[in-house]
Structures are given as C-alpha cells and as structure tokens.
Structure 1
Amino acid sequence: MSELDRYLHAATRDNTRRSYRAAIEHFEVTWGGFLPATSDSVARYLVAYAGELSINTLKLRLSALAQWHNSQGFADPTKAPVVRQVFKGIRALHPAQEKQAEPLQLQHLEQVVAWLEQEANQARLDDNQPALLRAWRDSALILLGFWRGFRSDELCRLRIEHVQAVAGSGISLYLPRSKSDRDNLGKTWHTPALRRLCPVQAYIEWINAAALVRGPVFRGIDRWGHLSEEGLHANSVIPLLRQALERAGVAAEQYTSHSLRRGFATWAHRSGWDLKSLMSYVGWKDIKSAMRYVEASPFLGMALTQEKPVGE
C-alpha cells in the first residue's frame, strides 16, 4: 500500500469500508450489475429491492455506489434525476418506521449489574478466575457504555493509556476518533463517579483484576482466563449484553449495543435534562440525531439518588 493509499484508507471508518464492500458485492454479484454503472441500471437496482430492503439500506447502497464511482474517476450515476425520482417514489410507496434499539431501562441496568456482582462473588468462592474476570469486564463495559453513552465501536477502541480514573471522583476517556468526530481531531470525555451503579469503580475493579497496564480496555477472555491482546470487536458487544441480561432474567432479544446509548438518553430526558445539555454530553451535533435516541414518556421521577453527570 502506497503512502497515498494509506492516508486515503485512514480517512474512512472500518465499519463504513466493510458496509461499502458488501454493498458493491450485492450490486455486482447478487443482482448482476456492471461497474461503472449507468443511472438506468442503478434505478432498476433500486426497483428490484424496493419492497425487500429498508430505506436506510438502500441509501447505504447508493452511497457505496457513489463512493466507488467518485474514487475511480467516473461520473456518479446516483445523482441522476431518474435515480432521485425512483428513490422518492420508493419512500412514498414503502413507508416504514425506522427500527430502533430498545433503550435499556434503569431497572434492567440495576438488575444485570446486581446479577454480575453475584456471579463475581460466586466465582471468587469457586476460585473460578475466568468467570470472575468476565463478570468484572461485563459490568464495567455495560456501566461505562450506559453512563457515557458510547457506541459499541467506541467502547471497543478504548485504550488504558488514554483513560484516567480516580475512585470517588471521575473518569476521563480520550478517543482519537469517533463517528461524531468527522475531522479526527480526537476528544476527551468525562464522567463523574456515582454513589451506585458507578462506572468509575467498575472500570477500576476490572483493570485491577485483569492486571492491565496498557492496550485495549475490553478484551476477550478464553476458557482458562487468558486475556486476548486484541480489543473486543464491536459486533461482540450485542451478544455480550444479551447474554448478561438473559442470565439476569431480562428478556434480551430486543436489545442491541445501541440500547445502552438510548437507555442513557431516555433516563436523562426523563430526569429533566434539557436537550442542549444532553447533546453536549453525548456528542450529538444536530437535534434530529438526539431525538431519535430519546424515548419520550409521561413517567418522570426516575432520577438516581446521585449527582448528575455533566457535559464537558
């Protein structure tokens, strides 16, 4: 890979690259299209999958095709009027409510953390080091993901050398890049210690138990209790969360990694946070993004008896 290619590669997130590759493969292999494509073929491709794929998936497919043509120096067929009109017609004839992850409610957060604490205590009695490490890791990941409102890939990219945690005070976490940091300038996020369900204490307990001093914060643990040198993959957060919830007696099939982020946003909204403070704390740039995560409810008064995290 040349230096030019290396920098071009770094400009796009790994998840986006994978999604675009899958989209191009679908267009060429599954549907049988040819590249470079014509506007007519792109329009026919949209029609072929109009009733099968969601609007968001079709939008991603168009973005992938546009990116391929632009990177190869060809005219972008997705910008043609016929493609725009077909897409507009699909939205009109196939309206569908956007699927969203179920927000993790506070009582379920309490339930799963209490269960993980029981698992840790039992593992200690049984001298089961692998189970003890998993319980501490999962508790830290879930609490930090909830109270900091991180996405799964952000949790998995956290590195110990970029984290400073002080028991009873707070934690700061530096991310060199994230989805909301389009210019890759890096940002430090802060979360205070809490009286209960504390992400700071959970992080410290996990790091100390695992004897970690550098590298990824959250890692795989094998059956013998050996820790991987690599960080967890973002796709592993969903099964990790669901398995922990199911063991705690919570029906978990409706939850995804976004449930942590939506759960915090819902809790903050019900607890009286104004939208500006919530957007600043989580890192949303526009109000539409924020409102997609907030679960409106007439029931208030769910605030914890602890200090409220404050925005940076």
Structure 2
Amino acid sequence: MSPESAQDGPSVPTTLAPEDENAGGEEGGALSPELKDLAGKAVEYHESALSENTRKAYQRGWEDFLAFCESHGLEAAPASEQAVALYLSDRAEDLATSTLSQRVAAIQHAHDERGLISPTRSKGVQNVMRGIRRESNRTPEQAPPLLTEHVKEMVDTLPGDASPPNGTEAEAAWLRGKRDRALILTGFAGAFRRSELAALRVEHIESRPSGLLVTVPESKTDQEGEGQLVAIRRIEDSGYCPVKALRRWASVASIDDGPIFRGVPRSGFISRDAITGRTVGNAVKRAAEAAGLPQADDYTGHSLRAGHITQASMEGAPDAAIQAQSRHESDRAFREYVRPQRLLENTSSAHLGL
C-alpha cells in the first residue's frame, strides 16, 4: 500500500458494522432489529474509544510518519520494522521520549485499524525505543552557546549580496550559503529548536512592519499542536538582519510556499522537501569551522537556541521576555541556560582583589 492510500482515517471494523437491511433474507442470517441496534451501538462505542485529543495526536503522528516514509521512499502501510526504527532514530534528536511513544502508538493504531500487522510490536522497534529512553535519561552535555560575536563571524564566511558564480557546483554552494546565512540568523534570533527551524514553512510566517511573527505549529512544549508565536524584529541598517536574510534566501530560491529551508544538492536544483534537524546542525558546524571558532567541533544546531538565551541574559533582557521567546514550559529547564552566566556575573571570586 502506498503512503497516499494509507492516509485514510480509522475505519470501522466490518465485524461491528450493521448489515445492510436489504442483504440476505430470513435464510441468509440477517440481523434482527434488536441486534441491528446493538451493532449500531457497538460502532458508536468503537468510534468513542479514543478521546478527541488522542485522536488528533494520532493523526499528527501518523501524518508525520507518512511524510518521513514518502521523503525516503519507504512503505508506510504496512510499514517495515526498519522503516519505524529509522523514523524513531531520526525524530529522537528533536522530540521528547513521551512524544515518540505517542508516535509509536499512532503507527500501531493505524495498522490495527487497517487489519495490518504492526511492526511497532517487534522486538527490534521496542529495543530502539528502550535505547532512546536510556539515552535521554542520561544528563546530556550542553552544547556550547553561540553568542552574537560568534554568529557574526560565522555569517561573514557565507555569501552576502554578491551574484552567484558560474558553474553548477559553484552556484549550488552559493545557494547553500545563502540558505545557511538565513538559517543561522533566523535560528539565533528566534531561539528555535532544530526541528522547529527545519520545519518552518512560508504559511507559518506573517510579515509586519517591525518584523516577522512566526507560528510554530507543534513543538516539544506544545504537544497538543495548538501553535506558539515567535517574534523576530527587523534590524535596520544591519548586515545581520534575520528578516532580510530570510527574504533574500526565499527570493533567490524562488520559494513562495511550502518549506522555507530546503536541500540544495550539487546539481543546484533546490529540493521541494524540508531539511532535517541534522542538516541544521551540519550547517552550524560548517560555518563555525569556516570562521575558525575554537570550539567549532562542539557546536550543534542547539547552540543557536542556547546562544540566544545566554546572550539575551548577558544584555539584561528580563527573564520573562527570554522565556517567552524560548517557550520553555519549565522554569527549571530555562534556568539551566542562564545559571552559568549568572554565576560568572555574581561570583565572589571577582571581589578578591587579585
């Protein structure tokens, strides 16, 4: 079954559906009126088995799995054990384990509703989820934050307003540089997570005279998918304005709808598909290395988000304003970012007269 044909919603099991009153006869085993009413009730109970929120979460999870399979040429229904394992491994970088567990449940539900054997029950898939949970329970080393001075140095290594060079590969590299310039500045200004930045679409962006309002349709702290707003201010007379960089990339790439950040292969033909969170990390690392930053190999896509929080705190921005931008649900999680800088600002070691 192709991913397209797998998109239909949950079906009512034929064993529950009331028989057609015109089908069969007295000899054909037609249900009595009383049993027909009971069968109708059974269908209603089946359709009410899931809450509205669970149904919506399953729908989002299934659509995300479909998109992954389609972009990688994999069958979605019935899905293979390998397809599910690859999907979970890819999404583990950006989604909470609770969300991944919900995605597994969505894939299983979609298969069960279609009478298909679900690979989510396999030992291989369960081991992948077990490994992801174990890794997530370990205390991760925080990616070093990229501060404004670092971001400027990185962006300076990327194409500015110059015209594209001749030659297919040279033009592709130029386009990729324009994309990465917009990617880095937007990611830093918006304090986006890697997955949010990679999934940004034209229809998520509303232009205002003073900047952009970006709707993040689903994120780590918005599991119901209600959407969160992020504001990015236009910076006049600056060569590092994220709004200008984003518009220039969309212009040279002729992007009017769909994903903003797309793959740019050596052919120079810009992909129609969105990049992944891994691509964000690669772009950051590549620019950091080109700028000769001391910790270049340690920077990740998360360094842009961590850098926004750290730099804004250093500049005296109110915690409430920073937390509104970063959309941290937990005060404890937010303060893990600002605590090291606050310690340096307030340490008693500065008062020893050394």
- Structure 2 length as normaliser, TM-score? 0.59
> Is the contact between residue 165 and residue 171 of structure 2 (CA under 8 Å) also seen in structure 1?
no
> Is the contact between residue 117 and residue 135 of structure 1 (CA under 8 Å) also seen in structure 2?
yes
> Is the contact between residue 198 and residue 274 of structure 2 (CA under 8 Å) also seen in structure 1?
yes
| Alpha-carbon distance in 2 for matches of 1:29, 1:117 | 41
| Alpha-carbon distance in 2 for matches of 1:25, 1:267 | 43
1:180–1:224 Cα change, 3 Å: same
| Alpha-carbon distance in 2 for matches of 1:236, 1:192 | 25
| Alpha-carbon distance in 2 for matches of 1:24, 1:274 | 49
Following superposition, the deviation at residue 105 of structure 1 comes to 1.9
| Alpha-carbon distance in 2 for matches of 1:24, 1:262 | 37
Following superposition, the deviation at residue 164 of structure 1 comes to 2.8
| Alpha-carbon distance in 2 for matches of 1:28, 1:285 | 30
| Alpha-carbon distance in 1 for matches of 2:164, 2:136 | 47
Partner of 1:200: 243
> Is the contact between residue 178 and residue 184 of structure 1 (CA under 8 Å) also seen in structure 2?
yes
| Alpha-carbon distance in 1 for matches of 2:275, 2:201 | 11
| Alpha-carbon distance in 1 for matches of 2:251, 2:285 | 25
Partner of 2:303: 259
Q: CA RMSD in A?
A: 3.3
Partner of 1:78: none
Please tell me the residue identity of whatever aligns with 2:220.
Answer: K
Map 1:44-193 to 2 at 5 A. Answer: 57-58=133-134, 60=136, 98-117=140-159, 121=162, 124-126=164-166, 128-165=170-207, 169-193=210-234
Gaps of 5+ in 2: 1-5, 12-54, 65-87, 92-96, 105-119, 347-354
C-alpha offsets along residues 153-207 of structure 1, whole Å, 9 cap, x if unaligned?
Answer: 00111111221345x7301212221112122111232111114321101001100
Partner of 2:124: 25
Q: Percent identity?
A: 28
Does 146-155 or 172-181 show the bigger shift? 172-181
Number of residue pairs aligned between Structure 1 and Structure 2: 240
Please tell me the residue identity of whatever aligns with 2:147.
Answer: Q
1:130–1:187 Cα change, 3 Å: same
Please tell me the residue identity of whatever aligns with 1:180.
Answer: T
> Is the contact between residue 165 and residue 204 of structure 1 (CA under 8 Å) also seen in structure 2?
no
> Is the contact between residue 281 and residue 300 of structure 2 (CA under 8 Å) also seen in structure 1?
yes
Q: 1:212 aligns with which of 255, 263, 285?
A: 255
| Alpha-carbon distance in 2 for matches of 1:229, 1:257 | 22
Gaps of 5+ in 1: 31-44, 46-52, 62-95, 301-312
1:102–1:59 Cα change, 3 Å: closer
SS at match of 1:172: strand
| Alpha-carbon distance in 1 for matches of 2:271, 2:194 | 18
| Alpha-carbon distance in 2 for matches of 1:234, 1:29 | 19
